[in-house]
């Protein structure tokens, strides 16, 4: 047990560093994923993805850091619109280099005006609803695993979920294959049907096979709703 945890810790150390594009896949039609948000730490310049779930809330991974700004309706990351300031609300039980709870809400200090290029995505309605296995991931991260450069434009790839019994913790979904997310894609959405079911968390690799883990959003619905309704708000 302790060995697994140590190994997992090392994997997290290695792969949770944001800075995590899509390998393979295709360039998305510009603005066709209006919920996707580009997130940056203005000091370290590390980047993550995120997605708009309400006019004033973005969902992302807790390991993406705390001093962040978000950009809405992005097509080209070299031509960014004005940034939006946010208040970070990481899950209180998230600890760096420990698996699980890799979920964070960012409260926008100025709510977004929804339009054709900026819009929300639906979250799961219940904790144990059925999830389609054919899903999609997207981001502006690296185009090769572990090296290469980030993509200027949003890319997307199809992924197939594997049996969640083969995931490390009970709050994750996993996919396997040779295409998918890489550094810089952390925090982005795993979309199955038209619903955001997961948050890109990290991946491990052996012999050219990759397994990506996603925070399973439906396991956190209660916490999410408390934050959205303002019950646990502490930024006032
Ligand atoms: C998507 O990318 C694959 C290879 O990754 C390519 O074969 C396919 O033609 C592309 N599809 C579109 C619509 O560009
Ligand atoms: C998106 O950005 C790419 C790369 O700069 C550019 O070629 C394309 O025309 C842009 N599309 C839109 C709709 O802005
Ligand atoms: C959509 O709203 C964003 C800000 O929320 C703005 O930057 C963008 O120009 C708007 N786009 C359109 C087509 O009105
Ligand atoms: C994903 O799969 C759908 C349906 O099979 C297909 O239309 C689409 O082009 C695929 N997208 C990518 C990025 O491979
Ligand atoms: C995962 O399982 C543990 C132990 O069974 C439980 O305490 C925890 O609440 C579960 N977490 C989630 C997100 O379901
Ligand atoms: C990823 O790690 C898990 C254990 O944490 C292991 O079972 C799996 O085989 C690994 N997958 C790859 C592709 O390395």
Identify the top-confidence range among 15-19, 129-133, 216-220.
216-220
Radius of gyration over every alpha carbon of the chain, rounded to an integer in angstroms: 16
What pLDDT, on the 0 to 100 scale, is given for residue 145? Answer: 63
Ligand 3 neighbour 79 (Cβ under 6 A):
no
The answer on pLDDT for 177 being more than 50 is yes
What pLDDT, on the 0 to 100 scale, is given for residue 231? Answer: 66
Range of the domain at 135: 19-27+122-219
What's the rounded mean pLDDT across residues 159-186?
Answer: 83
SS3 224: helix
Is 112 in the same domain as 43? yes
What pLDDT, on the 0 to 100 scale, is given for residue 70? Answer: 98
Taking CA atoms only, the protein residue closest to ligand 4 atom 7 is 158
* CA of 159 relative to ligand 3 center, distance in Å: 30
Average pLDDT over all residues of the chain = 85
* CA of 200 relative to ligand 3 center, distance in Å: 26
Ligand 4 neighbour 102 (Cβ under 6 A):
no
The pair of three-digit structure tokens given for residue 20, joined into one six-digit string: 């995590």
Taking CA atoms only, the protein residue closest to ligand 2 atom 14 is 75
What's the rounded mean pLDDT across residues 114-124?
Answer: 97
Ligand 2 mutation target, pool 29, 74, 76, most atoms within 8 A of CB: 76
Residues lining ligand 5, Cβ inside 6 A: 170-171, 219
Ligand 1 neighbour 24 (Cβ under 6 A):
yes
Is 65 in the same domain as 179? no
Total number of domains constituting the chain:
2
Taking CA atoms only, the protein residue closest to ligand 5 atom 12 is 171
The pair of three-digit structure tokens given for residue 138, joined into one six-digit string: 């997207």
The answer on pLDDT for 124 being more than 90 is yes
What's the rounded mean pLDDT across residues 102-128?
Answer: 96
Identify the top-confidence range among 11-15, 18-22, 75-79.
75-79
CA 220 from centroid of its chain's CA atoms: 14
* CA of 27 relative to ligand 4 center, distance in Å: 11
CA 102 from centroid of its chain's CA atoms: 9
What's the rounded mean pLDDT across residues 127-143?
Answer: 88
Is 134 in the same domain as 204? yes
Taking CA atoms only, the protein residue closest to ligand 1 atom 9 is 26
Give the rounded percent of residues in the chain with a pLDDT score beyond 90. Answer: 62
Backbone phi and psi for residue 43, each to the nearest 5 degrees, phi listed first: -85, -60
Extract the runs of DSSP E, i.e. beta strands, from the chain. 26-27, 36-40, 47-54, 57-60, 69-72, 84-90, 104-108, 134-139, 142-144, 147-150, 155-162, 172-177, 189-192, 195-206, 209-216
* CA of 219 relative to ligand 5 center, distance in Å: 9
- Report the atom number in ligand 1 closest to the C-alpha of 25: 5
The answer on pLDDT for 232 being more than 60 is no
What pLDDT, on the 0 to 100 scale, is given for residue 138? Answer: 93
Ligand 1 neighbour 26 (Cβ under 6 A):
yes
Give the tens place of pLDDT for each residue, 52-106. 999 999 999 999 999 999 999 999 999 999 999 999 999 999 998 788 899 999 9
The answer on pLDDT for 190 being more than 60 is yes
Is 188 in the same domain as 150? yes
* Alpha carbon distance 212, 75 (integer Å): 25
Is 159 in the same domain as 214? yes
The residue with greater pLDDT, 178 or 61, is: 61
4 found inside a domain: no
Q: Which helix (H) or strand (E) holds 9?
A: helix 2-15
114 found inside a domain: yes
Give the tens place of pLDDT for each residue, 208-220. 778 899 999 999 9
> Using 50, 70 and 90 to split pLDDT, how confident is the model at 10?
very low
* Alpha carbon distance 18, 67 (integer Å): 13
Query: Are residues 89 and 104 in contact, defined by beta-carbon separation less than 8 angstroms?
Result: yes
92 found inside a domain: yes
Is 23 in the same domain as 130? yes
Residues annotated catalytic, as ranges: 63, 102, 186
The residue with greater pLDDT, 46 or 217, is: 217
Identify the top-confidence range among 5-19, 33-47, 177-191, 195-209.
33-47
137 found inside a domain: yes
* CA of 56 relative to ligand 6 center, distance in Å: 37
What pLDDT, on the 0 to 100 scale, is given for residue 205? Answer: 75
Query: Which residues fall within 8 angstroms of residue 128, CB to CB, at 6 or more apart?
Result: 218
Query: Are residues 30 and 75 in contact, defined by beta-carbon separation less than 8 angstroms?
Result: yes
Is 128 in the same domain as 79? no
Is 45 in the same domain as 150? no
Query: Which CATH number goes with the domain that contains 108?
Result: 2.40.10.10
* Alpha carbon distance 149, 130 (integer Å): 36
Tokens 């779930």 sit on residue? 53
Instruction: List C-alpha distances in Å: 155 to 56, 58, 111, 161, 206.
Output: 25, 19, 26, 19, 24
């Amino acid at each position: 047990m302790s060995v697994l945890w140590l190994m997992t810790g090392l994997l997290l150390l290695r792969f949770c560093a944001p800075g995590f594009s899509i390998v393979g896949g295709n360039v998305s039609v510009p603005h066709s994923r209006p919920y996707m948000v580009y997130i940056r730490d203005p000091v370290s310049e590390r980047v993550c993805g995120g997605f708009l779930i309400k006019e004033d809330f973005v969902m992302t991974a807790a390991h993406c850091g705390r001093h962040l700004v978000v950009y809405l309706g992005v097509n080209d990351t070299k031509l960014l619109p004005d940034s939006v300031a946010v208040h970070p609300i990481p899950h209180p039980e998230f600890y760096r280099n420990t698996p699980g709870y890799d979920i964070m809400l960012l409260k926008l200090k100025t709510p977004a005006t929804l339009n054709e290029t900026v819009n929300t995505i639906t979250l799961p309605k219940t904790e144990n609803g059925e999830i389609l296995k054919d899903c999609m991931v997207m981001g502006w991260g690296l185009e090769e695993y572990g090296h290469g450069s980030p993509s200027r434009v949003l890319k997307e790839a199809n992924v197939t979920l594997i049996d969640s019994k083969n995931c490390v913790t009970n709050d994750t979904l996993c996919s396997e294959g040779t295409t998918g997310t890489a550094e810089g894609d952390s925090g982005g959405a795993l979309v199955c049907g038209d619903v955001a079911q997961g948050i890109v968390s990290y991946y491990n690799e052996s012999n050219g096979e990759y397994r990506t883990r996603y925070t399973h959003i439906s396991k956190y619905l209660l916490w999410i709703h408390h934050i959205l309704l303002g019950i646990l708000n502490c930024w006032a």
